[in-house]
Copies of this chain bind each other. A is one copy, B any other.
Amino acid sequence: MVEIFEKNPKALPFGDDVSAVEISKDLLMILKSDMLVGKTHVPPGMTLRQAARKAVVINVSDFAAKGVKPLAVSASIGFPAHFSDRDVRQLAEGLNDGAREYGAYVIGGDTNEAEDLVIACSIAGICKKGEIITRSGCKPGDVVAVTDHFGTTGAGFKLLFEGVSVPRSLRNKILEPVYVPKARLREGLALARSGAVTASIDSSDGLAWSLYELQRASKVGFLIDTLPLSPEAMEFAKVSGADPFELVFYGGEEYELVVSVNKEKWALARDSVEKIGGRLVRIGVAVEEPELVFKRGAEEMRLEPRGFEHFR
């Protein structure tokens, strides 16, 4: 439906993690809206406070991917008539949690009666024109990297929706990022400052999908040679028999950054993230041929542009 909107000549093209529009010769205003719907985005066991916090964090994650600081949060909340005052307060606490955790503030919003819980957050910020990292700057030869390992959230969904059972301590470790996802804002800001990153996206729709979007926007291909499997997902795979490859690439609702880095500046990029206590994991390389392939030893397979489908 994007083709229906008349294009603002001073705005970034549609289809990046955030929207941006020129407000002066040097400055961009950044805007991002994403809606959390109770039925499809709030897994069983998640509190209202956690849900509202998550509604903020999913938008912060997009700012992180672009290397831009989120400044102001505005939230429209719809909730069923049976919600108590205490429920509504929990939602407000969660919005405040999500904003303050990343240095932003909730500055406005409204509440409405609705059929189901709906939390629509918008975040606004400002950055200098050259500073934003788009999805389209990757060149063949660039290193492809992620800010941490994957698979834990995918394992979490298997626990919650497929009745898979694992020891309690592993279960708790796995469900933590499902209920309290973190945005990689400090990593994104450090990477932007490093000047080494050529393109970036967050991984909310799954790693394979994010890689696909990034290579498509940059008109390159990716040869992925490393499976960035988290220790929790590895343990889960052992206990449950789940496929690690599936967990890593098609898990979804993970908020790592997926970036391409100029190979001459790889050390600079990695050091910039390690300096703030994060990590940058090399998983492959950008190539000319516009394909998305995973290749490790004799294993070789095409990664499907198949995204994470929100649970129903």
Report A's interface with B, CB cutoff 8 A: 1-2, 4-8, 11-12, 14, 18-21, 23, 29, 31-35, 37, 39-40, 71-72, 74-78, 88-89, 91-93, 95-96, 99-100, 105-116, 118, 120, 122, 124, 126, 310
* A107 B71 Cβ-Cβ under 8 A: no
How close is A280's CB to chain B, nearest CB, in angstroms?
A: 28
A33: nearest chain-B partner, CB-CB = B74
* B5 A96 Cβ-Cβ under 8 A: yes
How close is A170's CB to chain B, nearest CB, in angstroms?
A: 32
With A110-B35, A113-B37 as contacts: A88 and B124 at CB distance below 8 Å: no
Residues of B within 8 A of A105 (CB): 5-8, 11, 21
How close is A13's CB to chain B, nearest CB, in angstroms?
A: 10
Residues of B within 8 A of A112 (CB): 35, 37, 40
- Which of B1, B19, B39, B76 is close to A120, meaning CB atoms less than 8 Å apart? B76
**Max chain B Cβ within 10 angstroms of own Cβ: one of A72, A93, A99:** A72
A76: nearest chain-B partner, CB-CB = B35
